Amino acid sequence: MKTMNFRKYSAYPAVPIEGRTWPDNRIEAAPVWCSVDLRDGNQALPVPMSVEEKVAMFKLLVSVGFKEIEVGFPSASATEFAFVRRLVEEQLIPDDVTIQVLTQAREHLIRRSFEAISGAANAIVHMYNSTSTLQRDVVFRKSREEIKAIAVEGTHLCRQLKDESGSAGIRFEYSPESFTGTELDYALEVCHAVMEAWGASADNPVILNLPSTVEMSLPNMYADRIEWFCRNIMDRGAAIISVHAHNDRGTAVATAELALLAGADRIEGALFGNGERCGNMDMVTMALNLFTQGVDSGLDFSDLPYIREVYRRCTRMDVHPRHPYAGDLVYTAFSGSHQDAISKGMKAHGSHGDGLWDVPYLPIDPGDVGCSYEAIVRINSQSGKGGVAFVLEKDYGIQIPKWMQPDFAWEVQALADRTGEELSPQRIHELFLDGFVRLRQPSVSLKKCTISWADSVQLESGEAATLIRAEVEVDGSLINFDATGNGPLDAFVKGFGEKSSISIRVDEYAEHAIGHGSGAEAIAYVRIVCDDGRSACGAGVDSNISLASIRATLSALNRLS
């Protein structure tokens, strides 16, 4: 067997930190959120968004509640520049929203970026240059001092152009790109030089974005780097610590969450994790993670289906059916035990009186994100009796009693096994009707039946008797009988047993109404047991509950065969 050569990789270096505090911290407030869907997300698309699509995405992000939105790399292309200008010139930017533009630390690109945001009331110029060992040695072939000089010169120019613009609403963000591949002491050295060049202070803070440009370590090691940085920065109050996590190891959300514990103030990410390679940190997942812990994220994902639809239309990207919170299947249970637990949990929810969500297997109320309860339980060959019963009750008002559920679940599983398909609620309903209510070729069927009550006829219990006169066809032959009992069903069972030589007793019985008002029908469920020990369940539907119970008994008789 071929063996993968793990020896070509080395472990990520540990951070020299003692007495780390982040493991004992809790996230009790939302960070500042910055969406990068229109820049980082857009540049990762096979077909980048058009200006119209970017406008639609921008409006979506605003409606969700993002107050900082990276809208593009305006020096990179005419389309990017035109989009930023359209936002400014058509006054599409709300007063409480700050747009952000990205630029490399190169003079002509910085100048072009300032041209793009001219006239914007609030804007962040996000400048970066790569500082990692690998990039310095292999890509740029420059020393640490030369790389730091690029950052400092770019910062000086940004400060000059801000002063020339006269706009107090322009802020500055700096990213030592590939922070995860940069020596910590050097990353801090460069950021200190940038802060000094900008003139950073508590009144004029710089945003220091410390990106996991390539996810290279466990999330806890990234948290160690953030805590170390926050401890050693020369003036913590003069910097807003931002993180931008990529998902190369599949842990970008955890990386961002732990970074918050370690002292970060601000999170950059994209809807549904869109971005280069394995994507950016997923804003939907992280925000709703906070929401499920009782923390107000400040973002509104109450209509996830709509957000998902706009995202799909603008990006031409799909959302995985198992995507946290937003996938088509995440509020769906196929496992029988899960279905049963969800069904019971939904019925019991709220009974504790504290209003807290407490339904098994559902960490969030689907209704909170605009999803329908109707899709919670779906049926296939792995489904159990609880899930099957839940579907019929939820969609059709049919409340199969527990003692009958195993019989019907067996029929559902048998059909699912034969077809190898998921069964829709409509098909499950038809299966119930065909198998328990309206048997297609019954051997026993009711032809006539009249029911009356006689106060003059007393039973041994002293109750008034119920009188029944019925005509029943059994295997092509008609039998007629008159009988009395303590109710219509009791009288029918006695009379039928005397005339047909099929002695049965009703072992279980349940009934309820289907629907409301004058058009409501009654449904009855019975389980009968024969003298020879055989048993069967049946159901009957009629506008008259007495006739429904008799029809249910006939259904059970037919199912005996």
Q: Select the more confidently predicted residue: 161 or 442.
A: 161
- Segment holding 185, helix H or strand E: helix 184-198
Least confident residue range of 91-95, 304-308, 425-429:
425-429
Q: How far apart are alpha carbons 255 and 268 in whole angstroms?
A: 12
pLDDT of residue 469: 92
Specify whether domain 33-315 bears CATH 3.20.20.70.
yes
pLDDT of residue 381: 63
Q: How far apart are alpha carbons 338 and 347 in whole angstroms?
A: 14
pTM (global) more than 0.85: no
Cα-Cα-Cα-Cα dihedral sign, residues 316, 317, 319, 321: positive
pLDDT of residue 140: 85
Q: Which of 151, 68, 157 is nearest to 112 (CA)?
A: 157
- CB within 8 Å of 165: residues ≥ 6 apart: 114, 118
515 CB neighbour count, 10 Å cutoff: 11
Domain extents for the chain?
33-315, 336-422, 444-559
Flag whether 248 is marked binding. no
Q: How far apart are alpha carbons 239 and 551 in whole angstroms?
A: 77
* pLDDT over 70 (residue 213): yes
Q: Which two tokens stand for residue 529?
A: 């047991």
pLDDT of residue 438: 86
Flag whether 246 is marked binding. yes
* pLDDT over 80 (residue 8): yes
Q: What is the pLDDT of residues 96-110, one digit of tens each?
A: 999 999 999 999 999
CB 113 within 8 A of CB 77: no
Flag whether 232 is marked binding. no
- Arithmetic mean of pLDDT, 166-195: 96
* pLDDT over 80 (residue 321): yes
CATH number of 444-559: 3.30.160.270
Q: Which two tokens stand for residue 11?
A: 């472990």
Q: What is the pLDDT of residues 32-79, one digit of tens each?
A: 999 999 999 999 999 999 999 999 999 999 999 999 999 999 999 999
Q: How far apart are alpha carbons 272 and 292 in whole angstroms?
A: 17
Q: What is the pLDDT of residues 379-432, one digit of tens each?
A: 666 666 777 888 888 889 999 999 999 999 888 888 888 988 888 889 999 999
Q: What is the pLDDT of residues 138-154, one digit of tens each?
A: 888 899 999 999 999 99
Flag whether 280 is marked binding. yes
pLDDT of residue 383: 66
For 376, 439, 450, 502, 531, the CA distances from 558, given in Å and listed in that order, are: 34, 8, 22, 12, 16
pLDDT of residue 443: 86
Q: What is the pLDDT of residues 267-301, one digit of tens each?
A: 999 999 999 999 999 999 999 999 999 999 999 99
- 207, with CB counted inside 10 A (0-12, 13-18, 19+), is buried
Q: How far apart are alpha carbons 358 and 348 in whole angstroms?
A: 9
Q: What is the 3-state secondary structure (H, E, C) of 479-515?
A: EEEEEEECCHHHHHHHHHHHHHCCCEEEEEEEEEEEC
pLDDT of residue 440: 74
Q: What is the pLDDT of residues 234-253, one digit of tens each?
A: 999 999 999 999 999 999 99
pLDDT of residue 457: 59
